[in-house]
Amino acid sequence: MRGAVTVCHVDSIPVDVQLTWPPVFVFVSWTLGDRFFPQLYPEWPSLAYWAAGLVASVLLFSSLLAHEFGHAFVARWRGLSVFRVSLFFLGGMAEIDVDDGTPGDEFWMALAGPAVSVLLAIGFCAIWLGTAAHHTYVGAIALYLGMSNGLLAAFNLLPGYPLDGGRILRSAFWQVSGDQCRATRWAGWFGQGIGGAGLVAGLVWLTSGDIFVGFWFVAVGGFLILAARGALPHSLVSPP
């Protein structure tokens, strides 16, 4: 992948970091340290906000990688080729040769990522419930990660190609029609609709002054429209 650095291999699968990702990591860390944690815990010392923001950001993107490896390992189990797992400015992506599979392969592979995120959300929420009263910092980070993984699973289950929910929808269309190309086109229409709704929502937020949320929705909406038109036909995409 252009503009990417392979940082390690997990079970022989390359893990790439695109050059667009580090600024996003820094921005997320800054947002958590400057806004999220200070608003929830105004009594903390200043250094604690930045330390919690950094740790939470590292664990957030680790959760994204776990989500993508959920796809990758199930794809391997189903006999499909996995080329790489990547982090980029909109989140994570597993590059998998889904065209050689079956509707069942697509279904289980697409479902695996959100399943991992749901398990992580439950685990982090359990940590928050068990530690919040005694270890405020650990509890606060766990609360953020529990919410983030829950939202990640919910967002990716939206029925728009190439999100996981769109992949599940495509597998259903594929099973019924017996035509992968037709199923992709149908699921892509849903993806373009969701992408268009994201663009509109982003513009509304931008005009209301919330630049961060507005930009994120515009970027994700535009990306989904391009991807649904076939820009990334072999990828499973998971925005943060």
Q: Where are the domains of the chain?
A: 4-238
pLDDT at residue 221, rounded to an integer: 85
pTM of the model: 0.88
**pLDDT band for position 237 (50/70/90)?**
low
Q: Could you report the per-residue pLDDT of 125-156, keeping only the tens digit for each?
A: 999 998 876 778 899 999 999 999 999 999 99
8 A C-beta contact, residue 117 and residue 147: no
What is the bridge-based pairing of β-strands 13-18 and 82-88?
parallel
How many Cβ atoms from other residues are within 10 Å of residue 114's Cβ?
A: 24
- The values of phi and psi at residue 45, to 5°, are -70, 155
Q: How many CA atoms lie within 13 A of 18 on its CB side?
A: 15
Alpha carbons 26 and 28: distance in angstroms, whole number: 6
User: Of 100 and 19, which is predicted with more confidence?
Assistant: 19
- The arithmetic mean of pLDDT across residues 204-229, rounded, is 80
DSSP structure string for 200-215 = HHHHHHHHHT-HHHHH
Statement: residue 21 has pLDDT above 60: yes
Amino acid code (one letter) for 143:
L
Amino acid identity, position 72 = A
> Is 68 noted as a catalytic residue in this protein?
yes
Residue-wise pLDDT tens digits, 98-118: 777 899 999 999 999 999 999
